[in-house]
Structure 1
Amino acid sequence: MPIIQSVARALTILDLFDDINRELSIKDISLKLDLNKSTVHSLLKTLKEYGYISQNNETNDYSLGWKLYERGHLMVSQMDIRNVARVHLEKLNEKTNQTVHLVTLLGKEAIYIDKIDGHSVLVIYSRIGKRVPLHSSGVGKVLAAFLDDQQLESLLDGYIFEKRTEKTIVSNQRFMEELAQVRERGYALDIEENEPGVICIAMPVYDFSGEVIATVSVSTPTSHYSEELEKRNFQCLKECTEEISASLGYKKIVV
């Protein structure tokens, strides 16, 4: 696959900054990369526009921008929770023999950041890095349900309720009603709403501040589903999310 030169050059510029070279001028960058100043200026202008480069108003020199911190912080937080959660996910997988997922919010979608496959012959079409709609998935419902009012309003502004199956929620009003039930119950269900033949139960993971930062789910083939299995999955999932939350410093307030 051919490399896109402009993208490669932009990334190379970002790589020039380090603990010693915190700020660089156009001349510095031009010399280091053997590029003419007009090319460097165009690249810096684009990077600055998107927040990946900042400019010192006094010296006009350039430094790394806030967007890199934002993206880095997101990645670190996701990797941290993966490391903390992994042993608990493995235990949950062993107890239930079902596929388990660890999921976080990314923009207006949920994203799988860890997965352990179950022992069923049914293939569940998920993978680490795959995104899933909020309205049709148990994990998405949990992540949306525990947002504050302003965050939820922003999330739903222009949100498209794609019909994934015959059972998918396709209206804002119905989705809001569902989220209210999720908050009241403390868990979410996806009964073939996102994928035919799959039932999912999901619960929130809290951090030390009491904020929901992720969700864990257990996915079961509809053909294997029973009330007894639901109860067992529910209890195992509850223990798992409570253990992960405790590991992240969350202390449940008992009223």
Structure 2
Amino acid sequence: MKSRQFIQSLEKGLMILKVFSGSRTPLSVTDIAAACHMNMATVHRYLFTLKELGYLEQEADTRRYRLTPKILKIGVTALNTMDLKNRLLPYMLETTKTYDVTTQCAILDDTDVVVLDRVRSKEVVNWDIGVGSRLPVYCTAMGKAILAFLHQDDQRQVLRKVHFNRHTQYTLVSSKELKTDLIRIRQDGYVLSDQELTMGLRSIAAPVFRNGLVEGAFGVSYAVSRAEEDGFEATLVGQALTIAAKVSF
């Protein structure tokens, strides 16, 4: 039973906003009502309120809704205040400059990882993500680095909710395969992901801990062709593990 202090109307409003986080295109009232399991009349009232407050806008021609930049202010402020990003950023800048790789850090949110910060390399790699992007936990190096070191009960809870999609021919698409991979990752202490989310891209990631619990992950990404460079990946693995250890406590 929920506390008497719990405000259900606020929960419904936030539920509607959350629907937009999973869509890259404007949504109709019907889409939103179906996703939230709410009736159309109720959804109309919430959409009107969110539009009046400036968090949503409605397209004149399609009558569909989309988020406004105002909502970004909340998310960016939250990301900027996260201690993990601040601890890792100097090392991300240094690693990108030294090895010409893209560096990033992320935290777990439900069945995704959310990118807190990213420093791009000079390489042209087909992976256009930015701060705040959500990536599947099961097919990303940072996602698996976090997932492997979660408490077993928390890990099981996440795995029960994962919906597997094959993004490339290398994507693991079953819970059994993923669990086997997570056991190996926990033994190794790091992840090397080969084109599981995007063709032509390899990534390495290591978990970051706070008070003995996994807090997030530090990762590097680079073109597949660079894996052929002598000692390149071994050096990056060592770099990732060293940096993750330095910012953990």
How does the TM-score come out when normalised to structure 2? 0.67
Relative to structure 1, is the Cα distance of residues 175 and 82 closer, same or farther in structure 2, using a 3 angstrom cutoff? same
Measured after TM superposition, the shift of residue 230 of structure 1 is 0.5
Measured after TM superposition, the shift of residue 225 of structure 1 is 1.6
CA distance in 1, matches of 2:8, 2:161: 30
- What residue identity is the alignment partner of 1:234? V
Structure 1 position 112 matched with structure 2 position 98: no
- Equivalent residue, structure 2, for 1:67: none
Instruction: Calculate percent identity across the aligned residue pairs.
Output: 22
Measured after TM superposition, the shift of residue 101 of structure 1 is 0.6
- Equivalent residue, structure 2, for 1:96: 99
- What residue identity is the alignment partner of 1:164? H
Measured after TM superposition, the shift of residue 233 of structure 1 is 1.0
- Equivalent residue, structure 2, for 1:66: none
8 Å contact from structure 2 (residues 111, 161) kept in 1: no
8 Å contact from structure 1 (residues 97, 118) kept in 2: yes
Measured after TM superposition, the shift of residue 244 of structure 1 is 1.5
Number of paired residues?
Answer: 183
- Equivalent residue, structure 2, for 1:140: 143
CA distance in 1, matches of 2:201, 2:132: 20
Measured after TM superposition, the shift of residue 217 of structure 1 is 0.7
Unaligned runs of 5+ in 1: 1-43, 53-70, 251-255
Q: 2:159 aligns with which of 156, 160, 172?
A: 156
Deviations along 1:198-235, one digit per CA (max 9) or x if unpaired, are: 0001001111x111101011101012222511011112
Aligned ranges 1:32-181 → 2 under 5 Å = 46-47=9-10, 75=78, 79-181=82-184
Measured after TM superposition, the shift of residue 158 of structure 1 is 3.4
SS where residue 107 of structure 2 aligns?
strand
- What residue identity is the alignment partner of 2:222? T
- What residue identity is the alignment partner of 1:213? E
CA distance in 2, matches of 1:83, 1:187: 22
- Equivalent residue, structure 2, for 1:220: 222
CA distance in 1, matches of 2:135, 2:114: 6
Deviations along 1:134-187, one digit per CA (max 9) or x if unpaired, are: 111111111111111111111111321110100100011000000001100000
Relative to structure 1, is the Cα distance of residues 158 and 79 closer, same or farther in structure 2, using a 3 angstrom cutoff? closer
8 Å contact from structure 1 (residues 92, 237) kept in 2: no
Q: 1:232 aligns with which of 226, 231, 235?
A: 235
CA distance in 1, matches of 2:128, 2:179: 27
- Equivalent residue, structure 2, for 1:34: none
SS where residue 104 of structure 1 aligns?
strand
8 Å contact from structure 1 (residues 88, 243) kept in 2: no
8 Å contact from structure 2 (residues 190, 241) kept in 1: no
- Equivalent residue, structure 2, for 1:8: none
CA distance in 2, matches of 1:171, 1:113: 28
Unaligned runs of 5+ in 2: 1-6, 16-73
SS where residue 242 of structure 1 aligns?
helix
- What residue identity is the alignment partner of 1:169? L
SS where residue 115 of structure 2 aligns?
strand
Relative to structure 1, is the Cα distance of residues 155 and 223 closer, same or farther in structure 2, using a 3 angstrom cutoff? same
